[in-house]
Amino acid sequence: MRSVTRRGIVVLLAVVLGSAAGPAAAQRRSPKDCGGLHDLRVMDLGMVPDPVPHNGFVKSWSVRLRADGNGECATQITILAGVGARNHVAGSRVAFSLRPGLNVIGVPAPRGYRIRAPDTCFFVWADIQNTPTALDALRPFCARRVPGGWTLR
């Protein structure tokens, strides 16, 4: 349990430190930060593999994100997993080139990440103008048991 807690703290620190460096890095690569003129909405969230075998690991996430706005923008995408009132990071990535329209973003899962409870739901957050913001989604993304594993479908 301690190693899981330590890994969670390390991942959370990486997210916080990455978000501090993200806007400066994004400006060097040209897209502006996603802000008030960009409306971001999660169209779908998938995991690889799906289904994940019981006691198996999630390797990565696939976020289908609609960006309504003009021009490219940069943001950090974070996937949080929540069970009850407790949330933890299930994946994080800086996406430098969100374009208007549908974007498909691959987000690596932390090494050894597993789904452990059937009531685990996943939420996509974006760093918008240096403020983490939960994104609206078309539907909830909650893990459910299927024979031999877990699925988000």
Does the pTM surpass 0.85? The reply is no
| Ordered structural domains, the chain, with CATH | 2-151 (2.60.40.10)
Give the list of residues 6+ apart from residue 144 with CB closer than 8 angstroms, or none: 118, 150, 151, 152
Give all strands (DSSP E) within 49-113, no chain letters.
52-53, 60-68, 73-83, 86-98, 101-108
How far is the C-alpha of 102 from the C-alpha of 41, rounded, in Å?
A: 9
What's the pLDDT tens digit per position in 35-85? 665 688 999 999 999 999 988 999 999 999 998 877 777 788 999 998 655
